[in-house]
Amino acid sequence: MTNVSADPAARTDQVTALVRRWLAESAEHPVDPAAERLAGVLKDPNGLAFTVGFVDGVMRPEDLGVAGRNLAQVAPLTPTFLPWYLRSAVRVGGALAPAFPWIVIPIARRVLRGMVGHLVLDATPEKLGPAIAKLRESGNRLNLNLLGEAVLGEQEADRRLKGTYEFLARDDVDYVSIKVSSVVSQLSMWSFDEAVAKVVDKLTPLYELAAASEAKGKPKFINLDMEEYRDLDLTIAVFQTLLDQPRLQQLEAGIVLQTYLPDALGAMQRLTEWALARRAGGGAPIKVRVVKGANLAMEHVDAAIHDWPVATYSTKQDSDTNYKRVLHWSMTPERTYAVKLGVAGHNLFDVAHAWLTAKERGVEDRVEFEMLLGMATGQAAAVRGDVGRLLLYTPVVNPSEFDVAIAYLIRRLEENASQDNFMSAVFELADDRRLFEREQERYRRSLEALADETDATPAPAPNRTQNRRTEWEDGRLAAELAHRDAPAPGIEHEDESLTSVVLGITRGSAGDGDLDGSGLVAPEHANRPAGPSATPGFRNEPDTDPALAANRDWGRRILARVPSSTLGIDAIRAARIDDHAELEALLANVRAQGEAWGRRPGAERAALLHRAGLALAANRDRLIEVMAAETGKTIAEADPEVSEAIDFAHYYAERARELDHVQGAEFVPSKLTVVTPPWNFPVAIPAGGVLAALAAGSGVVIKPAGLAQRSGAVMVEALWEAGIPRDLLALVDVGERELGRELVSSPLVDRVILTGAYETAELFRSFREDLPLLAETSGKNAIIVTPSADLDLAASDVVKSAFGHAGQKCSAASLVILVGSVAKSERFHRQLVDAATSMRVGWPEAATSQIGPIIEPAGGKLLHALTQLGADEEWLVEPKQLDDTGRLWSPGIRTGVKGGSYFHLTEFFGPVLGVMHAKDLDEAIALQNAVDYGLTAGLHSLDPDELATWLDRVEAGNLYVNRGITGAIVQRQPFGGWKKSAVGAGAKAGGPNYLFGLGDWLPDHSRTSGSLHLRGLERRVTDLIEASQSSLDYEQFEVLRRSALSDEVAWAEEYGTAKDVSALGVERNVFRYRPVPVTIRIAESATLVDGLRVIAAALLAKSPARVSSAHELPKGVRAVLAARDIDLVREGDASWLAGLAKRGPATSRIRLVGGDAAAVATALGGRPDVAVWSHPVTPSGRVELLPFLREQAISITNHRFGNPTTFSQGVI
C-alpha cells in the first residue's frame, strides 16, 4: 500500500493541526439551533431513551390514542437541556395526551419534527425546491435518498422507484441514491442470478435517464446504496451488469462500500479491476462511496438469530483501521483514473487524513468528500473551505409519512449518543481537551495498525467463510468426532445434604449449586450429569448462509438434481413389509436390541447420537434434494429443517446423560418405540422422534408418512451411516391398513411418537386404549395485531407465518386478529396485500420459488377454504390455481371471518389466511383461545401492558411476540402445544423434559438422613407435612420430607423461574412452566405416604388440583387441602372408574397413585385429550412436579431496528 504510514506520529501531528484549524474555523459559522438542541438532549442520561421513544412511540402509531399513551410514558424522561417552555409543553402534553390525543399529538409531532427536521428534507413539491436551492447556496451538492414505507412487496418497490425517477428527472436534482432492496421486494440470495436480472431490469430506465442527461450536457448521478451484508455481492453484481450494457458505457455512476466489513478491501479490488477494464474499453469511470457502515446493530441481530459469525469487525478501532486501509489502497493515480472516491463521514481526523493523503498523491480532483444533511454544519463548512465542495447525503420524506424515517432517524440518534462514535463529541471537541485527545488517540491507534502494510499485504479475510461444498474437507469431521467422543472422566456423586442445598438456593435463582451433578457443567466435562437448564456442550447448528457465493453454487447444484432425483427409492422399497409374521419378527428383533441398548449408560448413547448429528450434517445436500423432489420444499425451507434435525441429535445426546443421574428416581427405558411422523417436515420431525427415542435407550421402528417416505428413508440411511445398527433402528413401509394397525397396537410396542392430526391420535387409541402415546397434533393459530404494533413489521410477519411452505406448517398462522383501529388501517391492509401478492409460487427446483406446491392436489376442506367463502366473508386476495396439477396455488386472504365460524375453528393446512376483527385485546384473546387447539400464538404490540395481559391469558404452548410464529429452534424455542395440540405428557420437542416421557420411572430411596427438620420449604408444603406427621412412621416421614426437599431444589433450579438459556440478547426466548389442573387419584392399593408425596408436589406447583382418594386422609391433611381450596372426594376404585367412564374426567391430567392404569384407559375410552401419569411415586422433584405443570416457550423480539429495547423486561 505504497507505505500506508511510514511515520504514524508525524502523520498524527499533521492531521491534528488540520483538525484544530477546522474546529477553530467552525466556530465562526452559526450553529444550527435544532442540531445543538438535539445534541444537548442526547447528552442527558435519559436523552436517547426520550428521543427514540418520542420518534418510535409518538410519531409512528397511526392510532392517536396509542401515541397519546406513549407520550405520557416518555414525558417523565424529558431532558433538562430542553428550554423550560419545551420541557413544560412536553410534560403538560404527556399529562393531557391520553385524554385528548386528537389535540395534543398533532402538536407534539410538530415539535418533534422541529427537533429532528434538520436531518431530512420535506418532499412536498412546494417545499422541496426551495430547500434544495438553499442548501446549494453554499456550494454543496446534494445526494437525495427517498425514504418510504418498508418494501414488503412489488407495489411499494415500484412506488419507491417511481419516486426516485421523478426526483432524478427534476432540473434541480442531479444526484440520487437507491438500494437494490428498495427496487425489488423479498429478495432471496438463493436466486441470486435471477435477482440480479430482475433488479437490473427495474433499474435500467433510471440509469438510461441519467445517461440521456449526460449526453445533453446535464450529467446526473446515481449511487447504488446498500445496508445489509447479504446485499454486498448482489449490489456489486447489479452495478456491474447495469454499467456493462453498451448504452450505459459512458455513464458515470457510483456504489457504496462499507468498511466495517472485512470484505470491503477485497470488494474494492475487484471493482477496481473491472473499472480499469471498462476504462480501457472506452467506458466512463465509476465512483465508490467509502463509508464505515451504519447497519451494525442489525448485523448483530442477523448473526445472533442464524448462529453465524458477525459480518462486521468486532471493534470500532478495527473498522476505523479498515476505512483507512481501503482509502490508502485506492488513492493512487492509476486506480482513481477508473475509480473516483467518495470519502463519507464526519470524523474530522479521518477527513483530514484522507484530504492530506489525496493531496500528497495528486488525486484530490478524483476524491469527493461527503457528509450527512444537518450534522455538524459548522465543521462541514470549515472542511468545505479546504476541499472545495461537499456532497450532502440528503434523505427526503413526505411530512404525512414522517414515520417512515424512523429507522434512519434512530440510527442517527444512536450515532450522536454513542461514546464510540465521533458524533457524540462533535459540539464539544474544540473546548473539551479530554474528548479531543480521545478522538486523536483513536486515530493514532488505527494508523499504527496499518504501519506495516503494503500493496502486497493480502486483503483481510471475511468473517463469514462457511462453504458447504468443502466443510467436510477441512478437518471438521475429525475435530468434531474427537470433541464428541472424548473419553469421560469418572462421575463423582457428592453426598451433599439436601437441606443445605435448599437453604442455599435463592428463590428465582438459576440454581448453580451442584446437587449430585444437577448443576450446570462446562462443555469439557460434558460427560458429567447435565443440568436442567441450558444444555452444556450443545450449540445450535448454523443454517446455510446464501449471502456467500460458494453456498449459492452448492444450492444450485442441489436444485439441478431435484427433477431427476431418485434418492430414497431403493431404501423404502427394501423396507416394504406385506406379511404379519415378518412385521412381528421385525418388532421382536428391534425390541430385543432396544433392551440391550437401554442398558448402556447415557454417555455411550450420547456418543453415538453425536455421530448421528455429524452424519446428518454431512448429508445436508441429499436431505434437501429429496425433500424438494418428494414434498416440494423450497431450499430456503428445507435447509433450516436439516439444521433442526442435526440439533435434535446433539441436544438429545446431551440430555441423555441426565437420565442416568436424576436424584430419587431411576429411569427405565422403553424397549421399543414406534415413530410415525408427518409429511410436512419430512426430515426434522422424523429425526427428532427417532433420536429422542434412541437417546432415551429404546429401539426404534420408524414408518415415514406415505407422502414423504423417501425423505424419511434418506434420513434413516444417514443414521445408519453414523453407526446406528439397523437392528436398533428399523425403517418400515407396511403395505396394508391392518399391518399399519398392528404396527402401533402390537403388545411388543411400548410407546408411539406421533406427529399428525388429532384424529390420527384418536384412531391410534381406538386400536389400543392403553397405548402410551406422545403426540404433537393439530393447530389453528392466530396472530393478534394491536394498534400499538409496528404495522409494517406485523404485516411482514403475518404473511411469512401464513404462507411459508404454502401454509403447510402446523405452526402456520391461519388467522390474523386486528384489534380496534387496525381493522381500518389502510396501510396495514395495503402492506399485507402487497407482501402476499408479491410472493413467488413455483416448483422447488426453481430458485426463485418462495412458495412451493402443496403436497397433493387440493381437496376436501382445503379446497373448500381455497374456493368458498362463508357468510359475510370477502376475498381481500383471492387464491388462484396456477397450473393443472392442482398443487400450485397463490396465497389467499379472506376478510370478514366471524367468531365461531367454520373458518375460525377449522385447520386447513394450506395457503389461506383469515382476517378477524376485535374491538379490544380482551375480545381478541377470546377469539384466539376459542379454538380446540393451542399450538402457537402470536402478538404484535409494543405496549408492555398489552403484552402482560396477553401472556397471562393466552392458551398456547409456543408464544411469539413481534416476530413470525413459525420456525421453532431446538432448545431456543422447544416446541409443543396445549389443549388438543398435544397428547400425552405435554413435554416439548427439543426441550429439557422430552426424554422424561419416553420411558418409566422407579423410586430410588437409597439416600437417607437422620434429620427431621423442614427448614427451607414453602409454608404450604410444611403445613401438609406437619399435618401428616402423626400418621406416618419415621421412614415414611423421612421419605415425605426428603421428597419435599427434592421438590424445592427442582423448583428453584428448573420449574420455578422463567429462563432464557439461549441468551441471544436481540431475542428473548423464555421457557416457563404454568400450573395446570390435575386430578390426583389415590387408589386402594396406594400407600398414604405416596399420596401425600404427590399432593406435596401439587401444592408447591400451585396446581389447582383435586384429590380423589380411596383412603380416609388424616383430619389435619383434610384441613390443609380445604385451606388451599383443593377439592377432596373419597371414593373407591370401582366408583371412581365408573364416574370416569360416565362423566369423563374433571381435568385433562390425572396423576394415578397406585391402581390399574389399563383400567383407567378403558374407562376413558382411550381419549387422547386426557394424560395419565401412572408410574410408581418417586422422591424426585424433577420427576414428580412435571404432571402439575405445563411448558410454555415465549420468543420475543428484543430490539427495535437492532437497538435493545426494555419493552418486555418488566413483564417477564
Q: Which residues are catalytic?
A: 776, 810
584-598 burial code (b ≥16 CB/10 A, e <16): eebbebbbbbbbebb
Query: SS3 of 841, please?
Result: strand
DSSP per-residue letters across 719-761: HHHTT--TTTEEE-EE-SHHHHHHHHH-TT--EEEEES-HHHH
Question: Does residue 332 contact residue 280 with C-beta atoms inside 8 Å?
Answer: no
Sign of the C-alpha dihedral, residues 346, 351, 353, 354? positive
**Three cell numbers, residue 158:** 415500484
Question: Does residue 777 contact residue 989 with C-beta atoms inside 8 Å?
Answer: no
DSSP-derived pairing of the beta strands 912-918 and 813-819: parallel
Residue 949 CA to residue 920 CA, distance in Å, equals: 12
CA distances from 1092 to 1095, 1109, 1137, 1151, 1178 (A): 5, 11, 21, 12, 12
Sheet with 1171-1173, edge to edge strand ranges: 1127-1130, 1106-1109, 1079-1082, 1149-1153, 1171-1173
DSSP-derived pairing of the beta strands 665-669 and 999-1003: antiparallel
Cα angle 1088-1092-1096, degrees, rounded to a multiple of 5: 175
Residues forming beta bridges with residue 288, ordered by sequence position: 255, 341
Structure-derived torsion over alpha carbons of residues 287, 290, 293, 299, reported in degrees to the nearest 10: 60
Cα angle 977-983-988, degrees, rounded to a multiple of 5: 45
Query: At residue 1107, what is the residue type?
Result: V
Structure-derived torsion over alpha carbons of residues 378, 379, 381, 386, reported in degrees to the nearest 10: 160
Strands (E), 1026-1120: 1067-1075, 1079-1082, 1106-1109
Residues forming beta bridges with residue 674, ordered by sequence position: 701, 752
Query: SS3 of 371, please?
Result: strand
Residue 449 CA to residue 508 CA, distance in Å, equals: 47
Q: How many CB atoms lie within 10 A of CB 1083?
A: 24
Sign of the C-alpha dihedral, residues 297, 302, 306, 309? negative
Query: SS3 of 1197, please?
Result: strand
**Three cell numbers, residue 299:** 448485523
Strands (E), 859-942: 874-877, 892-895, 912-918, 933-934, 936-940
